Amino acid sequence: MASVISSSSTNIQSGRPIIIARQQSSLGGSSKFNPRPFLLSSSFSSGLKIRHHKNFISVNNNNNNQFSRKLASNNIVCEASSDTTVDVPSVTSETWDSLVLKADGPVMVEFWAPWCGPCRMLLPIIGELSKQYVGRLKCYKLNTDDSPAIATQYGIRSIPTIMIFLNGEKKDAIIGAVPKTTLTACIEKFI
């Protein structure tokens, strides 16, 4: 009865990512989309903007066109502004010693890869933590595809893996996509 179609693209004017989720009911027969302007728009303090679109669909129930119905199709469009995410600086094999091992204070490194979905889910959380602990914790990400020697040296077998370093020594490791509270509890032990 209901089918969900989702897609993502980028807004050409603002360059912001757009996620579209569409739910459509159909009664069989042919359907025709007639887009209408959005009916609802909400903005959140985090920079997330959600718009609700209504499309009307004409449905012919049989081939004889004895009757037709107009059904509403709901689209929810979600745009994230550029200020919702913090770009976490990258560390590579060349910068590993200077940024992580010789750093003053604790350092958190996320071992990730661009093709890893859970890794990409954690990046905004790592960005939030870097803002929350600015001056007390340094946060970096290491692409395991670009720097496999570092990943092998620290025994990374699964990504995402988050490691905490203090005075050049590995102090703790968290494997998998975990909630922000778990990461915060781990960080608090070393600050």
Does residue 139 carry a catalytic annotation?
Answer: no
Query: Which residue blocks in the chain are alpha helix, DSSP H?
Result: 96, 117-132, 148-153, 180-188
Choosing from 78, 116, 139, 186, the catalytic residue is: 116
Q: Hey, which residues does 110 pair with through a beta bridge?
A: 141, 162
The percent helix, strand, coil of the chain (3-state, each to 5) is 20, 45, 35
| Tokens coding 160 | 């995402």
Sign, CA dihedral 151-154-155-160, equals negative
Q: Give, in order, the Cα–Cα distances in Å from 124 to each of 2, 170, 175.
A: 32, 23, 17
Does residue 119 carry a catalytic annotation?
Answer: yes
Annotated active-site positions, please? 116, 119
